[in-house]
């Protein structure tokens, strides 16, 4: 920490501690007021886990203190956006001496590859945890293809595009 002269005492100089983090916080508050965000309004990015299996993607977000009706999920153009509002409840006749928990808009935007179907997104909210499931599109899923040989049908073969392998038997049906 460094010391800087204090501008407050009119006839002399005194030393006060310089705290760069306090300066950054004050600058952030001034910028928020300048662009119209009120005091205490913060934009947060909630933590997320993203998992993938053969059925699709699963995103799990922590949204503690958020009401289910305050959650919005939008899927458009290979983009999935999650937005929620966590409001601070002021109580009349009560003074807050310290408010450290974050309140305001929580938002995350995800780019989703084309192999997933954003028209079939499902979401479940339970005990402050939002789980979003995005299934694979039908075009990207494995399927059995029947092969004809000399006009006769053979057993279907499954082709896994990701592994470039084939499986199945070649017995005639």
Average pLDDT of the residues in 9-33: 67
Residues 127 and 151 in one domain: no
CA separation for the pair 173, 103 (Å, rounded)? 64
Q: How far is CA 87 from the centre of its chain?
A: 19
Q: Using the structure block, give the residue that is written with the tokens 């990207």.
A: 140
Tell me the two tokens of residue 118. Answer: 């954003």
DSSP state of 101: S
Residues 167 and 107 in one domain: no
Residues 122 and 57 in one domain: yes
Residues 148 and 79 in one domain: no
Q: What domain range includes position 124?
A: 42-90+99-137
Note the residue count of the chain: 173
- Return the H-helix or E-strand segment holding 125: strand 122-126
Range name among 15-24, 112-121, 123-132, 156-165 with the lowest pLDDT average? 156-165
Does residue 173 form part of some domain? yes
Does residue 118 form part of some domain? yes
Residue 70 · residue 88 · CB < 8 Å: no
Residue 20 · residue 30 · CB < 8 Å: no
Q: Check residues 20 and 127 and name the one with the higher pLDDT.
A: 127
Q: Check residues 129 and 16 and name the one with the higher pLDDT.
A: 129
DSSP state of 69: G
Beginning with the edge strand found earlier in the chain, give each strand of the sheet holding 144-145 in spatial order.
Answer: 144-145, 157-160, 165-167
């Amino acid at each position: 920490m460094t010391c800087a002269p204090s501008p407050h005492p009119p006839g002399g100089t005194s030393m006060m501690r310089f705290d760069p983090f306090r300066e950054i916080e004050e600058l952030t508050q001034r910028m928020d007021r300048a662009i119209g965000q009120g005091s205490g309004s913060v934009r947060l990015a909630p933590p997320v886990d993203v998992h993938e299996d053969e059925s699709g993607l699963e995103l799990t977000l922590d949204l503690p203190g958020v009401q289910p009706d305050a959650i919005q999920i939008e899927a458009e153009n290979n983009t999935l956006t999650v937005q929620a509002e966590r409001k601070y409840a002021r109580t009349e006749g009560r003074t807050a001496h310290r408010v450290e928990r974050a309140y305001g808009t929580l938002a995350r935007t995800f780019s989703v590859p084309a192999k997933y179907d954003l028209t079939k997104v499902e979401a479940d909210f339970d005990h402050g945890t939002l789980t979003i499931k995005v299934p694979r599109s039908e075009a990207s899923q494995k399927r059995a293809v029947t092969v004809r040989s000399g006009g006769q049908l053979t057993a279907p073969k499954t082709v896994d595009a990701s592994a470039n392998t084939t499986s199945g038997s070649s017995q005639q049906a």
